[in-house]
Structure 1
Amino acid sequence: MNNKNSISVICPFHNNEDTIVRAAKSIFDQTLSPNEVIFVNDNSLDRSLEKLTEFLHKNKKQFVIQIISINHSGPGHARNVAIQRSSSNWISFLDADDYWMPEKISNIDKVIRKNEYVNFIAHDEFTQNNKKEIINSKLSQYFDNKAKIPTQIYKRNFLSTSSCTVSKLLVEKYLFDPFLGSCQDYELWLALSSKMKLVFIQKPLCFYDNSLKTSITNSNQTKRLKNLLIVLFRYSKYVSFPLFCFIVSKHLLVFIISFLKK
């Protein structure tokens, strides 16, 4: 892999002792290795760091590995720190409770080689829900390469963080908003969207384990709605006013129905 195609993998973790080794192993099992892997320990209080360190000592690879420890600041800030420390031209994100298929980076490399102007790459993923059912989410079905990207992402966030690879030149100009407790990825994709040259790989190259995501309490759900509304207002220029009103109303209705069910 030459400098043009160089890839840094960024994997933040916070109390992920049950999954961090699985995530790390999926990086080590790639048919084409990355140039660099940066793990960011976001003040884990469990055995996450210990388990990761044990795995790395037992499994040596010919690429650079960094472990950065920070105070608990959230995944957005953790990713920002790693982006700024990275030495590659491309950044691939992996959440500690997700993992990749072995041919993930190989497919990314092929896209970079074939597309001179691409600066953002995404792909489909397998999802395991709370019922332990595994489905192909087929996120690519929501992307129309002939339509305006900002409007498409505004209407529906079809970009999953662990399935995204982005040019460092693009992402380092914006970074994640650490002041948003949630919706940080959605906000960043919208910030990048007007300059985004997106290629979508129609293959599931990631396993998104939704069964392990933190359950949403009423309090968390309220905070998430607040952050979502902040993002929707911030980028309302990407849609017409009637469509903006419709999208906001839809999210408010979903929140009310969910709240009443509890």
Structure 2
Amino acid sequence: MMKISVIIPVYNAEKYVTQAVESALQFDEVFEIILVEDKSPDNALQVCRQLTEKYSRVKLYQHPDKGNHGAGATRNLGIAMADGDFIAFLDADDYYLPNRFDAEKELFKDPKVEGVYGAIGVQYYSEKAKEQYYKIFGDRLTTVYKRYPPEDVFPGQLNMNGTFGLFSIDALTIRKNSLKKMDCFFKKHLRLHQDTEFLFRLSYYLDLYPGILDKAVAIRGVHENNRITKVDAKEIKPSSTKVLLWEEVNNWAENESTIPEYVKTHIKRVYRSFRIANAPFLKKWGMIVKYLFTDYKSIRSGLYNINFRKDLF
């Protein structure tokens, strides 16, 4: 039987974390549930303590200084504490469905399978949340649109081979030993999009296979206090967070000698496009003029990304 460690970062989720934990406890394959509390402003820590008292498979950790370090560092701590042979993730305001590990139980019998991804659905926890986010999530699955071989997953996420789709870490399961191929996991300094950046690198280093893609294996819970709320409400400028994401991806690609040059060029173009989109008006046009004279193909590709690929991440 599989031994899965489910890692749940906990921040401002006292209303939801019990549902998340109990959705993972339904599986015999779940060896342990690791709650990492990240100095929540609400009563989440007390709820987590109650869950550890009630369920023997639930373990609770905090950062050594008991401070707030963000989702990336919090997931990293969970990985470090995990004793299972497989790692799965779950946000504290989301939950698993009964079919969550159906595909994994079969696929991981093959030792070459290093990770499996699936589809997730959506639930709006309030009418206000639905009004605010329906235009983003609708009632659609977040999924990869067809079954790709593992070598196509990395370029697919970069949108290099047509319309690939998306998968969430809520629907990702990884063979723990395979993580040794990566020199680091989640980037601690990325407060947003650290999961997207992680998935890019993960799909480059590991062989990821499709699990269940035509129906949800987990549910994204949408409420007014989701981290993405601040982005949607313009409290955080969306394009500025993507500049930081693509700057990180570009820096990694430039330093990874095994990535083909055409892939590095594509990544650089996307990074430039977000830099231009986020620049002040006069600087933006100065950058456009500069790239028109120095790298016409890049700026043309960059403008294409700005205008037509806003919905990628």
TM range (shorter): 0.7 to 0.9
1:225 to 227, 242, 248: 242
- 2:205 and 2:30 mapped to 1: Cα distance? 25
1:77 aligns to 2:73 (yes or no): yes
The question of whether the paired residues in 1 share the 8 Å contact of 2:142 and 2:167 is answered with no
1:54 aligns to 2:54 (yes or no): no
**Change in CA separation of 1:90 and 1:33 when aligned onto 2, cut-off 3 Å:** closer
- 2:266 and 2:6 mapped to 1: Cα distance? 40
Q: Which position in structure 1 is the counterpart of 2:204?
A: 194
- 1:167 and 1:14 mapped to 2: Cα distance? 26
- 1:121 and 1:17 mapped to 2: Cα distance? 29
Q: Which position in structure 2 is the counterpart of 1:260?
A: none
**Change in CA separation of 1:242 and 1:251 when aligned onto 2, cut-off 3 Å:** closer
Q: Which position in structure 1 is the counterpart of 2:36?
A: 40
1:17 to 14, 17, 22: 14
- Which has the larger share of strand? 1
- 2:197 and 2:155 mapped to 1: Cα distance? 13
Q: TM-score, normalised by structure 1?
A: 0.82
Shift of 1:157: 7.0
Kindly report the root-mean-square deviation, in angstroms, between the aligned alpha carbons of the 2 structures: 2.8
Identity of aligned residues (%): 20
- 2:75 and 2:21 mapped to 1: Cα distance? 16
Shift of 1:82: 1.2
- 1:112 and 1:146 mapped to 2: Cα distance? 14
- 2:115 and 2:150 mapped to 1: Cα distance? 16
**Change in CA separation of 1:246 and 1:98 when aligned onto 2, cut-off 3 Å:** same
Which consecutive residues of structure 2, in runs of 5 or more, have no partner in the other structure? 274-301
The question of whether the paired residues in 1 share the 8 Å contact of 2:71 and 2:191 is answered with no
The question of whether the paired residues in 1 share the 8 Å contact of 2:35 and 2:59 is answered with yes
RCO higher in structure (CA 8 A, sep ≥6)? 1
Shift of 1:107: 3.6
Shift of 1:147: 5.4
1:209 aligns to 2:209 (yes or no): no
**Change in CA separation of 1:74 and 1:246 when aligned onto 2, cut-off 3 Å:** closer
**Change in CA separation of 1:220 and 1:25 when aligned onto 2, cut-off 3 Å:** farther
The structure with more radius of gyration: 2
Other structure's SS at 1:35 match? strand
Other structure's SS at 1:141 match? coil
Q: How many matched pairs?
A: 248
Which consecutive residues of structure 1, in runs of 5 or more, have no partner in the other structure? 257-262
**Change in CA separation of 1:146 and 1:176 when aligned onto 2, cut-off 3 Å:** closer
1:137 to 138, 141, 145: 141
Q: Give the stretch that moved more between structures: 5-14 or 224-233.
A: 224-233
